[in-house]
Structure 1
Amino acid sequence: MTTVGSSMRRSGRVSRRRPADSGRGAALVGQLFLGLLAALALAPVAWAVVSAFKPANQIVADPLGLDPSTLGLDNFRAMFQDVPMARGFANTAVVLVTKGALTLFFAPLAAYGFAKYDFRGRSLLFGTVLVTLMLPTVVLIIPLLLQMKELGWVNTYPALILPGAIDAFAVFWMRQVIAAIPDELLAAARVDGCSEFGIFWRIVLPCIRPAIAGLAVLTVMNIYNDFVWPVVVANSDRMSTLQVVLANLAQNITGNRIGADYATVTGELLAAASVALVPLLVAFVALQRHFVNGILAGSVKG
């Protein structure tokens, strides 16, 4: 009986281990699949960065070849001589800091009003905000450009910063997050004599900090990569943002710059794109944990 019982216990232990082993196997397969997708997504970026160090003629003659002995910084030196990268970075930094600050402050503030205040026309007003999400950016360019012209803001920082500073998606996302904050917590703050703005600043903002961090990542990426509006409203070299500077360099491939062949301009373009990639990549790697937490913060209400 002892032998039979011990064998049954052993068989039970074996049977209980099988689901765990199959779960680990499924997790491993999933990780391998995700790793393959990540490799496919990063392959073009890796090729562009590596090719930026290759001689210009070699990029065109043998795009997939790689000779480590020929790698160098010639493309980067020529690019910094021909392209006003410093001005592009400076203009982008001004727009990024100012517009990002406006978005991260006023979007949660507006969302707080929609989530926690009951006033006449709230649903209609919030629905109007959501309707603006359906409007393509191209539809808004001409009206906004005419407004900037009437205000005398063409080729100025206000034209680059103010339109779109309060994003409808940001208001919607922050409203979903703030709605999950218990009303009793805010009522207790009012009983203690806290002002309405004090409640927002001292209670609401700390509670939604992960969501704000996620919104900050999205805001930085959108502003940094924005091209259509800056190229329309700031068409002077003095006000060009980084993406406009890169686009002007790309135009040289078609022969706008006399004496520059296709290979030379391609090498400089890859070098400029690699330099422009660094700040965004560093910011995303540093804030990716906050980005994931911010996305999850708005996924569950309760």
Structure 2
Amino acid sequence: MHIGSHIFLLILMVGFLAPVVWALASAFKPANEIIRNPLSFDPTMWTLDNYVAMFQDVPIGHGFFNTAVVLVVKGAITLIFAPLAAFAFAKYEFPGKNLIFGAVLVTLMLPIIVLIIPLLLEMKALGWVNTYQALILPGAVDAFAIFWMRQVISAVPDELLDAARVDGCSEIGIFWRVVVPVIRPGLAGLAVLTIMNIYNDFVWPVVVANSEQMSTLQVVLSTLAQNITGNRIGADYATVTGELLAASSVALIPLLVLFIVLQRHFINGILAGSVKG
């Protein structure tokens, strides 16, 4: 049974990783070879031509820069204000607490497509279309982040907070000096999920940032074929495919590195977030 479970997990791993490995390896192959023999892996034929052509034809640098700005600012807002809201829901009693928290959870059931038009009209009224404000502020403190951190903070013993109050610590001091050090695993897990969600977000950026200057990485990737054929006369299907794979590989590497480096923190955070309040 033990061996069988290992074999099953190995098959799953191969199934999940095979497309990723194929995309990364094929990006180094000559464009015509990708179409002619897609499953071949001959290191002697590998070249950087796809990457060189892709950086010339596609404004992927703008996409990375805009995504980095949104990631840093929006991620910071999420990781600061979501735990603060969760701390209030987990450790304080106030009128309408359960009703407000229930309303927050209800927003988890709303599909993003339902919110796009109202949000877009709001951004237009504020004059924020094609701005960083529109990319960053909507959804910066989302219901899932609050729910996640509430579950984690609920497990912090009340005795720790009472002891800090006896020592004369302020409420905000209790949060930063007592609660935050205890909830670091859950906060790290939330950080990884937040980074992945912001990095992979496509629907909202493609609606609110329709200019090339403000396009995030995922929006740039979605318009790669048009950019390649528009910037290179006579670009054929093989050329477009090679550059698409090169661009996808460049976009994939940061997330792979992030997950490999923070894998332990992510798993600990998942376990911390599973604690019942």
**TM range, smaller chain:** over 0.9
Choose the corresponding residue for 2:238, options 235, 258, 263.
263
Give the aligned partner of residue 280 of structure 1. Answer: 255
Alignment of 1:1-302 (within 5 A): 26-251=1-226, 258-301=233-276
1:27 Cα deviation after fit = 3.0
Give the aligned partner of residue 21 of structure 1. Answer: none
1:213 Cα deviation after fit = 0.4
CA distance in structure 2 between the partners assigned to 1:141 and 1:301 by the alignment = 33
Show CA shifts across 1:179-218 (max 9, x none). 1111111111111110010011111111100000000110
Unaligned segments of structure 2, at least 5 residues: none
CA distance in structure 2 between the partners assigned to 1:139 and 1:259 by the alignment = 41
**Higher Rg of the two aligned structures:** 1
Letter paired with 1:209: R
Letter paired with 1:205: V
CA distance in structure 1 between the partners assigned to 2:275 and 2:190 by the alignment = 16
Letter paired with 2:242: G
CA RMSD of aligned residues (A): 1.3
Say which structure, 1 or 2, has more relative contact order (CA 8 Å, 6+ apart). Answer: 2
Show CA shifts across 1:106-131 (max 9, x none). 11100000000100000000000000
Contact 2:130 2:209 in 1 (8 A): yes
1:87 Cα deviation after fit = 1.2
Letter paired with 2:156: I
Unaligned segments of structure 1, at least 5 residues: 1-25
1:167 Cα deviation after fit = 1.2
Show CA shifts across 1:224-270 (max 9, x none). 000111111011111111111111103458x6564211110110000
Letter paired with 1:117: Y
CA distance in structure 1 between the partners assigned to 2:276 and 2:197 by the alignment = 26
Show CA shifts across 1:62-89 (max 9, x none). 2112332211100000001011121111
Q: Percent identity?
A: 74
Contact 2:164 2:174 in 1 (8 A): yes
1:165 Cα deviation after fit = 0.3
Letter paired with 1:294: G
Secondary structure in structure 2 of the residue aligned to 1:194: coil
CA distance in structure 1 between the partners assigned to 2:226 and 2:7 by the alignment = 40
Contact 1:173 1:298 in 2 (8 A): yes
Letter paired with 2:200: N
State the number of aligned residues: 276
CA distance in structure 2 between the partners assigned to 1:194 and 1:66 by the alignment = 63
CA distance in structure 2 between the partners assigned to 1:78 and 1:178 by the alignment = 50
Could you state the TM-score of these two structures normalised by the residue count of structure 2? Answer: 0.96
CA distance in structure 1 between the partners assigned to 2:163 and 2:44 by the alignment = 69
Contact 1:252 1:265 in 2 (8 A): no
Letter paired with 2:275: V
CA distance in structure 1 between the partners assigned to 2:116 and 2:12 by the alignment = 36
Contact 1:103 1:166 in 2 (8 A): yes
